[in-house]
Amino acid sequence: MTEPKPAPLNPTKLIQAGRPEGGDGLPVNPPVVRASTFSFRSMEAFNTTAATPFDAPFYGRVGTPTSFAFESAMAELEGAHRAIAYPSGLAAIMAVYLAYLSAGDHVLMVDSVYGPARRSMVRTMAQMGVSVDFYDPSIGAGIEALIGPETRLIYMETPGSGTFEVMDVPAIATIARKHGIVTAIDNTWATPHYFRPLEHGVDVSIHAATKYITGHSDAMLGVVAVSEAAHDALRRATQDLGMVAGSEEVNLGLRGLHTLDVRLARHDVNGRALAAWLETRPETGRILHPAHPDCTGHEIWKRDFAGASGLFAVELPGWDEARINAFLRGMECFRIGFSWGGYESLALPAHPESREHPKWKGGPVLRFHAGLEDPADLIADLDRAFARAAAEA
C-alpha cells in the first residue's frame, strides 16, 4: 500500500501557536518583555518558581514570557517535549554538540552539512577531544557499518547544503536508536511546516530561525526542539553556556511562525518555477532541487516531505569564476548575500568540491533562493544574467 503524502501543518495551528490565551482585552501577540530580574515578594514564591524555572519567569537568562511563548510554539509545531531558543542557528548547533558530546566521543556527520557546522566540529570540538567521520548523505541504513564503540551522535541535514541531497532520516534514526545513539538534524530548509523529524524517530531538531521562521532577514535566531529523553542534557548545556536569545528576536520569530504557511507556499511555487525554467537552458547541468526527479533522494523527499522551500541550486558545467561573476553582476531582483529564507531572492556560489562522500565531480554550483517576487520578474532577471555570462565567455 502506498503511504499517504505528508501534510503541511494546519494553518490554524500556526496562527494559534504561542498566542495569549484566556481573558478579555489581551493583545493578539505576546508583548516584548525586556527583563533581566523578576522579583518576588516571599522566599516561598521565589523557591517555588526556582524549582520549575522554565515554566514561569524567574531570571532573564532562563527566559521571559516572550521567549517562553516562542519556545512553546516551536515545541508544539515540531511535536517535541520542549524547545530552547538561541541567539543564532550556529549557537543552537554548538549547544547540541556540547550537550551530547565529551572528550573521546565520536560523531558521524553528513558530508553535505552546513559549512559552519562542519567547521565548528573539526575545529572547536576537535580541540575538545571529539572525533568525527563524514558520511555519504545517501547512506541510509548503511550507516550502521560506520558506528564504533565511541559513537555518541549522528548528525544529519536534509536536504544537504549546496547540493540538496535528501536523506533517509527514518532509516538512520532506527539504526541510531538500536545502538543508543543520539540523532540530531538541521531542519532549517523544510521547517516543521514541511518536515517534522521527531515523528521519524529523531531526538533533536535544529533550526536557524534566522531564515524561514523569522522570514524577513531582520533577526538572528536559533531554536532546538527535543524529545523528552534528550531535553535535560540540552538544558544543562544551555545553562552552562549562558546563551540566551534576545526578546526582540524571539518576538520576530513568533511573528514569522504565524505567516509561515502562506510564505512557504509562495517560496515553493517560485522555486519550482525557476528550477523548471533553468532546466530548459542549454548552459545548465543538473537541477539540484529536491522536487526535481534528478535530485539525489527525490523519492525520499516525495515520501517524507509535505512541500519544498525556495532554496535550491543548479550545476553550471564548464563555467569559470569570471563567467559566474558576470552572471551575478548587475542583477535587479536577485542579490548576493549569505543566509536565505527572507522575502527577497538571493544567489551565491556553492562550493561542494571539498567533499569526499561522494567526491564532487560536477561543475560549479550556483545556489538560488526564490523569494516572494513575481516569478516572471525573477526569470527575466536570470535571462539577462545568462546574456551577461555569454558575453564573458
Report CA torsion sign: 123, 125, 130, 136. negative
Instruction: Report which of 187, 160, 170, 178 is spatially closest to residue 83, judged by C-alpha positions.
Output: 187
Check if the beta carbon of residue 40 is closer than 8 Å to that of residue 49.
yes
**Rounded to whole angstroms, how far apart are CA atoms 151 and 158?**
21
* Lowest-confidence pick of 12-21, 88-97, 146-155, 239-248: 12-21
Residue 3's pLDDT band (cuts 50, 70, 90): low
Q: Is 61 a catalytic residue?
A: yes
Please tell me the predicted confidence (pLDDT) of residue 21: 79
pTM above 0.85, yes or no: yes
Query: What is the per-residue pLDDT for 159?
Result: 98
Kindly report the backbone phi and psi dihedral angles of residue 251, in degrees, each rounded to the nearest multiple of 5, phi listed first.
-65, -40
pLDDT tens figures, 273-321: 999 999 999 999 999 999 999 899 999 999 999 999 999 999 999 999 9
Closest CA to 191 of 177, 207, 204, 179: 207
168 catalytic residue (yes or no): no
Banded model confidence at residue 19, pLDDT cuts 50, 70, 90:
confident
Q: Give the pLDDT of residue 1.
A: 46
Look at residue 22 and tell me whether its pLDDT is greater than 90.
Answer: no
- Looking at residue 23, its pLDDT comes to 76
Query: What is the per-residue pLDDT across 321-371, written as a single tens digit (0 to 9) for each?
Result: 999 999 999 999 999 999 999 999 999 999 998 899 999 988 999 999 999
The mean pLDDT value for 94-123 works out to: 98
Average pLDDT of the chain is: 95
**Which pLDDT score, from 0 to 100, does residue 5 have?**
76
- pLDDT: is 246 or 27 the higher one? 246
Whether 114 is catalytic is: yes
Whole-number Å distance between alpha carbons of 290 and 273:
13
Q: Give the model's pLDDT for residue 95.
A: 98
Q: Which of 105, 168, 186, 304 is catalytic?
A: 186
Beta strand 106-110 pairing with 82-86:
unpaired
Catalytic-labelled residue, pool 97, 100, 114, 155: 114
pLDDT score at 56: 87
b/e per residue, 232-250, with b = 16+ CB within 10 A? ebbbebbeeeebbbbbebb
Residues 197 and 185: their CA atoms lie apart, in Å, by 8
Instruction: Return the closest-CA partner of residue 316 out of 246, 268, 382, 228.
Output: 382
- The C-alpha cell that represents 369 in the structure block: 533562493
Query: 216 exposed, middle or buried (CB, 10 Å; 0-12, 13-18, 19+)?
Result: middle
* pLDDT number for residue 20: 82
Residue-by-residue DSSP string for 183-219: EEEE-TTTHHHH--GGGGT-SEEEE-TTTTTT-SS--
Cβ 174 vs Cβ 156: under 8 Å: no
* Candidate list 152, 211, 235, 323, residue with the active-site label: 211
pLDDT at position 29 is 85
The amino acid occupying position 22 is G
pLDDT tens across 60-90, in order?
999 999 999 999 999 999 999 999 999 999 9
pLDDT, position 328: 97
Interval 173-178 mean pLDDT? 98
User: Of these residues, 5, 34, 61, 119, which one is catalytic?
Assistant: 61
Q: What is the pLDDT of residue 28?
A: 86
Question: Per CATH, is 260-392 categorized as 3.40.190.10?
Answer: no
